[in-house]
A and B are shown apart, each in its own frame.
Chain A
Amino acid sequence: MVSRATSEQGGAALMAEFDEELGRLTVKVVYYGPAQSGKTTNLMQLHDLAGPELKGEIMTLETQNDRTLFFDLLPVGLRAPSGLLVKLRLFTVPGQVAHDGTRKAILSRADAVVFVADSRRNQTTNNAESFDNLAANAARVGLDFATLPLVIQFNKRDLPDIDSEAVIREQWREAPWPLTFASAIGGEGVRETFAALLGQLYPALDAQFALDAQHGLSAEAFVAGLCDGDVALRAGG
């Protein structure tokens, strides 16, 4: 039996799919952002890092000179002490402006979003436009942007002509979302970004599916299991 979270269940209902029969909870995470900001690179690095307890093969669909045409998909997961399989499907969208239809279709039913920005100063406009596009598409596919778990990653910190972290934090002072800094090409900050996202995601999932109470899956175990495959943390359960 598949139960789908609906908005009647209160405020920030997630789209996550809970299949009682199979003992599986499927969660959708989308890496969003302007073209060439490093979304695909983030996913590749997550795949290559020691990473999560359960990890599938990465699917990267047809690219045209390295650019995502449809999406990339990396499935990762962990098994809760109750035996529940928590499966996260990590998607990237194509960043190029022209593929807005695809972007919108992939964003639909998302439970959480990582926004990958390009730190270079000359990319400020692209970042802003893409962020507006995220908000607009979220509204179009019926996501509540105000409560959507979201992390903003400033990527390509290794490149020159970028603002300092302090300046960026100052600029985004008013924003409610966690900011992370990364150089995805070298793998730095990729795991931290993902961990920050899991931190945002857990409370919503727990509220809806009683992860802690019914499945013995704490926030720490959730983050650790998906980032580090740290079995030890959950050993007691």
Chain B
Amino acid sequence: MKGVDRSFTLEELLGGNTRASLQPRIESLVGGATALTGSGGEPLWGRIPDGASFRVPIQLELEPIGHLVSDVPDMPRLRAAAALLGFLLRQRAQYLMASDLHIETVQADYEALLAKHAELEESERRLRELSSQLEQRVEAQVALLDERQRQLYEAERLASVGQLAAGIAHEINNPIGFIRSNLGTSRKYVGQLRAVRDALQGGSAETLERAREIDVDFILDDFDDLLRDCLDGADRIARIVRDLKGFSNVDGAAEESLDLGENLSVVCDMLAGQLPPGVALHRRLAPLPTLRCRSGHLNQVFFNVLRNAMQAVGEHGTISVAASAEEGGVCIEIVDDGCGIAKEHLGRVFDPFYTTRAVGEGTGLGLTVARDIVQSHRGRIDIASKPGSGTRVKISLPAEAA
């Protein structure tokens, strides 16, 4: 047992050195030789004299912890010496108990400190874990945002396909309209021609009279014209449908040999239907060598650049599209006299998601995608602009495209 609950023996309380220095002093107090015995009677110093000797208990708490024995027949001196020893022993015991107590409480404090330290480390560890999780979460969030942006872009693309579809519908409706009206008129002509035939096969004088009023020459001429117009219209529709197939051929990304001039005119045709009345679209398309490339992808490049030009000119302006053969490939230039691009923005127009358009009106991917496609054909796209006077986009594609 430790601390205040421990019990002591005389031996524990009086170390060898203490005993050695105490003995002569006690003996000079008592006035003769003494012996000190422990609770079991064993001598701690001196020799227990034979025969009659004087024996006084040494008290620590209630019971004797030992005895002082002597031949000197002076009990008061012996008792005083024993009391003195008792006093010394109590001091010593007190000191030992207090120091045990001190060690015990310090130990407890230390353990509490250790526990607290462990707790601290634990909470720090949790914090670190949390912050690393936070990083992961942020990354996931950013990935999600990127994903959303891409989805937005897809949606935008779909919307522009929708716009295109509207333009195309317009283009197709027009010929269908006049084909229909031509056929209506043709049917009337067929009825009149049948009446003429009936009269000629021996009708009444009355029918003959009516047939004579029909201008068969006019009908035949006009009929001819109407049918020719109808054939033209049908051809136009067939061409639009063919173009459309080519244009939408983005995912069937097989390379084919083609004349880019045709692609350019298709895209121009598509957009022409959407131009405001104040905007003119000029084309100067020289004959081009055929290139091996992905038609649908390049259509998208032209479309993105042309749409930017349209947005730049707004309600009034001129857009010109020029294509020419150049050393080792083709060069396409799309020039507008629209708002232009400020110098500080020019360096960023190819950056993904860089846009100056109002929220929801542009994703800032148009030129990024255009450049990706051009580069995948080993070509290059350059943009030059002057704020207030316009923008020129130059696309060069090598004949030996990837």
A133-157 interface bits toward B, Cβ cutoff 8 Å, 1 = contact, 0 = none: 0000000000000000000000000
| Chain A residues, CB < 8 A from B158 | none
Q: Are A105 and B3 in contact (CB under 8 A)?
A: yes
Q: Are B4 and A71 in contact (CB under 8 A)?
A: yes
Q: Are A70 and B101 in contact (CB under 8 A)?
A: yes
Given contacts A56-B62, A85-B63, contact A61 B94 (CB under 8 A): yes
Q: Are A59 and B94 in contact (CB under 8 A)?
A: yes
Chain B residue, CB-CB nearest to A88: B62
Q: Are A91 and B61 in contact (CB under 8 A)?
A: no
**Stretch with Cβ within 8 A of A (4 or more), from B102-110, B176-184, B196-204:** B102-110
Q: Are A56 and B4 in contact (CB under 8 A)?
A: no
Q: How far is the CB of A223 from chain B (nearest CB, A)?
A: 18
Q: Are B5 and A77 in contact (CB under 8 A)?
A: no
Interface size class of B (residues with CB under 8 A): 20 to 34
Give which listed residue, B4, B86, B108, contacts A104 with CB less than 8 A: B108
Given contacts A70-B98, A101-B105, A106-B4, contact A77 B90 (CB under 8 A): no
Q: Does B263 contact A (CB under 8 A)?
A: no
Q: Are A73 and B62 in contact (CB under 8 A)?
A: no
Q: Are A73 and B4 in contact (CB under 8 A)?
A: yes
| Chain A residues, CB < 8 A from B186 | none
Chain B residue, CB-CB nearest to A72: B94
Q: How far is the CB of B4 from chain A (nearest CB, A)?
A: 6
> In the docked arrangement, what's the CA distance between A144 and B93, Å?
30
Q: Does B59 contact A (CB under 8 A)?
A: yes
Interface size class of A (residues with CB under 8 A): 20 to 34
Q: Are A85 and B105 in contact (CB under 8 A)?
A: no
Q: Are B105 and A102 in contact (CB under 8 A)?
A: yes
| Chain A residues, CB < 8 A from B61 | 56, 75, 87, 89
Q: Are A62 and B98 in contact (CB under 8 A)?
A: yes
Q: Are A102 and B59 in contact (CB under 8 A)?
A: no
Q: Which residue, A17, A59, A76, A85, has most C-beta atoms of chain B within 10 A?
A: A59
Q: Does A39 contact B (CB under 8 A)?
A: no
Within 8 A of A (CB), among B68-93: 86-87, 90, 93
Q: Are A101 and B63 in contact (CB under 8 A)?
A: no
Q: Does A24 contact B (CB under 8 A)?
A: yes
Q: How far is the CB of A10 from chain B (nearest CB, A)?
A: 23
| Chain B residues, CB < 8 A from A59 | 90, 93-94
Q: Which residue, B4, B60, B86, has most C-beta atoms of chain A within 10 A?
A: B4
Q: Does A57 contact B (CB under 8 A)?
A: yes
> In the docked arrangement, what's the CA distance between A85 and B97, Å?
23
Q: Which residues of B contact A (CB under 8 A)?
A: 3-5, 7, 59-63, 86-87, 90, 93-94, 97-98, 101-102, 104-106, 108-109
20 contacts between A and B (CB under 8 A): A28-B5, A56-B59, A56-B61, A57-B59, A57-B87, A61-B94, A61-B98, A70-B98, A70-B102, A73-B97, A76-B62, A77-B62, A87-B61, A89-B4, A101-B105, A102-B105, A105-B104, A105-B105, A105-B108, A109-B5
